[in-house]
């Protein structure tokens, strides 16, 4: 069993609101250094709100979010980013007025350890080919690659990936999975929101099941097969 002190990210009793809407009702989970961990759940369960809460992008929050032992619940998004946390949002956030290379070099370097462009291009050779193309003229898969590539330069060591395979062709989904595994090998820690638990099973170490704004179960990936019926019940598939 892991010691709690090894947790890179520890979320304890997290509650969050959008206006008057109470979305998170006591989220509790942790992610250890070098892990890939998924948040699984139906639409509206609170997975994306959890990611945005970790980044300080939700107006009202209560509870505790500790990153590398630093409490971040009252920190602004830019200060959280400078600790080494980066969010790749579901909508990707590609700047339409910039080409591919400009999109990649725009984010600031927040701490040492970011990948130089040459290494980013090794991971995403397609982006080198499309360097002068307008960012929003890329295919959906290429835009997702660009969104991930962009945060690798910043020096962040904790990556929050929100629905990275949504709407992508199976061959691109497989490529995104390969990239996630390569990033894990490089020492990145990844928290992944995913609807496709078949994909999640190919990359993750553990899975937290989220329902109605709180975690209801944790399933190690090695035990996923024996828990498949239970998981299908949770997800309604």
Distance CA 212, CA 231 (A): 16
Mean pLDDT of 116-122: 91
Say if residue 1's pLDDT is above 80. Answer: no
**Residue with tokens 């998981």, as numbered in its chain:** 231
Taking only the tens place, the pLDDT of each residue in 194-222 is 988 889 999 999 999 999 999 999 999 99
pLDDT computed for residue 237 by the predictor: 61
| CA distances from residue 222 to 18, 114, 188, 202, 209 in whole angstroms, order as listed | 36, 31, 21, 11, 15
The pTM of the full predicted model, rounded to 2 decimals, is: 0.93
CB 29 within 8 A of CB 16: no
Q: Domain boundaries in the chain?
A: 4-235
DSSP 115: P
The top-level CATH class assigned to 4-235 is alpha beta
Mean pLDDT of 6-14: 94
């Amino acid at each position: 069993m892991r010691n709690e002190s090894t947790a890179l990210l520890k979320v304890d009793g997290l509650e969050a609101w959008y206006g008057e809407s109470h979305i998170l009702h006591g989220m509790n989970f942790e992610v250890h250094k070098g892990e890939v961990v998924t948040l699984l759940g139906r639409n509206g369960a609170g997975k994306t709100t959890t990611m945005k809460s970790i980044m300080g992008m939700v107006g009202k929050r209560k509870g505790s979010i500790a990153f590398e032992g630093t409490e971040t619940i009252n920190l602004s998004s830019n200060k959280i980013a400078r600790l080494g946390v980066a969010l790749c949002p579901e909508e990707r956030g590609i700047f339409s007025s910039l080409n591919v290379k400009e999109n990649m070099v725009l984010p600031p370097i927040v701490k040492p350890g970011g990948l130089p462009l040459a290494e980013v291009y090794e991971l995403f050779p397609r982006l080198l080919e499309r360097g002068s193309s307008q960012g929003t003229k890329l295919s959906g898969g290429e835009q997702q690659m660009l969104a991930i590539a962009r945060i690798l330069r910043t020096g962040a060591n904790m990556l929050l990936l929100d629905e990275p395979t949504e709407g992508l062709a199976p061959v691109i989904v497989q490529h995104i999975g390969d990239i996630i595994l390569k990033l894990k090998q490089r020492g990145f820690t990844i928290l992944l929101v995913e609807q496709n638990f078949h994909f999640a099973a190919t990359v993750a170490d553990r899975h937290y099941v989220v329902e109605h704004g709180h975690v209801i179960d944790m399933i190690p990936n090695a035990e996923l097969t024996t828990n498949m019926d239970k998981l299908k019940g949770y997800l309604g598939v």
